[in-house]
Amino acid sequence: MVKQNNLLATLDELKQANLYRTRRIIDSAQGVYLRVDGRKLLNFCSNDYLGLANHPQVIESFKQAVDKYGVGSGSAHLVCGHGYEHHALEEELADFTGRERVLLFSTGYMANLGVIAALMGKGGVVYEDKLNHASLLDGGLLSGAKFKRYLHNDMHNLQAKMHGLMPDQQAMIVTDGVFSMDGDYAPLEALSELAQQQGAYLMVDDAHGFGGLGATGAGLVEQCQLNQQQVPVLVGTLGKAFGTSGAFVAGSEVIIETLIQKARTYIYTTALPPAIAAATRTSLQFVINDSWRRDKLKMLVQRFQTGARQIGLDLMPSESAIQPIVLGNSLQALQASEHLLQQGLWVSAIRPPTVPEGSARLRITFSAQHTEQHIDQLLCALEGLPA
């Protein structure tokens, strides 16, 4: 029998350090209110920014596709799993992002691992923001390229890291668009300019920007008006503002074809269920056409920021739907989350290693389904947080 004493000791250490993670059981559809462990809670920790995860028309598209195609895709895209709905969604996302082509992946994590490994390798250098999502960091580490991390959004530090890069050396700058735990934006214009000067790829994972930012919801890259040449590799996920699941990579014909041939996380995995792709095609139309959802989200964020400052909360510099409140140590964050839970509000406590040591926090997120009354209820509960 395998000895598990070391594993048990590690688990105990996590508990002692207030870093142990637990799962809560949800027995309802995603929405502003969730039924969690038998209780109805007001939800402030979902990434369903536009409130599309339980939209009746998105659900109906899913049901119709299930009736036609069944539940599973049967195989990988390159065997017999690439269906009409997948292909149509790729073409519509390419048009949406203003890129030549799009490639669907089963998850955002798999997209990021696959893209970096397919485009980079030994002899190259990958430069990543220190606060990048774990999937981007893992992609850089697993690619075989030299891996360098630069200080968060620090262009001077990145330039220093890139000093000495050989003219013929392959390089890639990798960043989140909207950072998932801080909610702030990457300096995409400056990153794009530096990447072009150095002859490097710029890869932007705009998972938390798509839907909520840009004139048509095409994210921070659209808001910054950067084209395919300026941001050659654009990644988005479908499980956040789109309300479904999966991910995509948008880029040139050559880049997408290279990924089809070389991205192991694309080649060797089962394709998304066709019904998910069909539902996403419907949610995409809501992302594009329902600009009121983005307008409302912005209004709710502003209302929260104004109220938070009035009650003396120190907010991070975020204009996105992600509004973190840094509390310091993990115990403080857990106690604050539990206090809000007792008030009927669900706000996650985020602790290391997800965030740096000493920056445990409440990660508050908003949805277009929230109301002004919901914001005021949250603020009232936050005002009563124990010191």
For 176, the token pair is: 């989140």
pLDDT of residue 271: 97
Cα torsion 309, 313, 318, 320: sign:
negative
SS3 5: helix
- The share of the chain scoring above pLDDT 70, in percent, equals 99
pLDDT of residue 166: 87
Kindly state the average pLDDT of the residues 236-265.
98
CB 214, CB 197: distance < 8 Å: no
What is the dotted CATH code of the domain comprising 21-50+291-383?
3.90.1150.10
Is pLDDT at 149 greater than 90 in this prediction?
yes
| Euclidean distance between CA atoms 302 and 322, whole angstroms | 12
CB 360, CB 321: distance < 8 Å: no
pLDDT of residue 4: 87
Is pLDDT at 70 greater than 80 in this prediction?
yes
Is pLDDT at 167 greater than 90 in this prediction?
no
pLDDT of residue 35: 96
Is pLDDT at 1 greater than 60 in this prediction?
no
Chain mean pLDDT for the chain: 96
CB 153, CB 188: distance < 8 Å: no
**Quick one: pLDDT band at residue 2, thresholds 50, 70, 90?**
low
Is pLDDT at 247 greater than 80 in this prediction?
yes
Is pLDDT at 386 greater than 80 in this prediction?
no
| Euclidean distance between CA atoms 132 and 184, whole angstroms | 12
**Quick one: pLDDT band at residue 54, thresholds 50, 70, 90?**
very high
CB 50, CB 367: distance < 8 Å: yes
Cα torsion 337, 342, 345, 346: sign:
positive
**Quick one: pLDDT band at residue 3, thresholds 50, 70, 90?**
confident
Is pLDDT at 285 greater than 80 in this prediction?
yes
Show which residues are catalytic.
180, 208, 240
Lowest mean pLDDT among 21-25, 48-52, 56-60, 249-253: 21-25
pLDDT in tens, 366-378: 999 999 999 999 9
pLDDT in tens, 7-18: 999 999 999 999
| Euclidean distance between CA atoms 311 and 231, whole angstroms | 40
**What pTM value is reported for the model?**
0.95
**Quick one: pLDDT band at residue 253, thresholds 50, 70, 90?**
very high
For 14, the token pair is: 């996590």
| Euclidean distance between CA atoms 366 and 300, whole angstroms | 8
CB 24, CB 45: distance < 8 Å: no
pLDDT of residue 129: 98
| Euclidean distance between CA atoms 109 and 310, whole angstroms | 39
Q: What are the residue boundaries of the structural domains of the chain, listed by start? A: 21-50+291-383, 56-289
**Quick one: pLDDT band at residue 57, thresholds 50, 70, 90?**
very high
**Quick one: pLDDT band at residue 164, thresholds 50, 70, 90?**
confident
298 Cβ neighbours under 8 A, 6+ residues apart: none
pLDDT of residue 31: 94
> 262-289 burial, b for 16+ CB within 10 Å, e for fewer?
ebebbbebebbbbbbbbbbbbbbebbbe
SS3 202: strand
The fold of the 56-289 domain, in CATH, is: Aspartate Aminotransferase; domain 2 (3.40.640)
| Euclidean distance between CA atoms 346 and 170, whole angstroms | 45
CB 196, CB 230: distance < 8 Å: yes
**Quick one: pLDDT band at residue 168, thresholds 50, 70, 90?**
confident
**Quick one: pLDDT band at residue 33, thresholds 50, 70, 90?**
very high
Kindly state the average pLDDT of the residues 189-216.
97
| Euclidean distance between CA atoms 260 and 252, whole angstroms | 12
CB 198, CB 169: distance < 8 Å: no
**Quick one: pLDDT band at residue 5, thresholds 50, 70, 90?**
confident
pLDDT in tens, 320-370: 999 999 999 999 999 999 999 999 999 999 999 999 999 999 999 999 999
Strand duo 33-36 + 360-365: pairing: unpaired
- In angstroms, the Cα distances linking 217 to 75, 223, 343 are 32, 9, 34
CB 1, CB 7: distance < 8 Å: no
pLDDT in tens, 292-310: 999 999 999 999 999 999 9
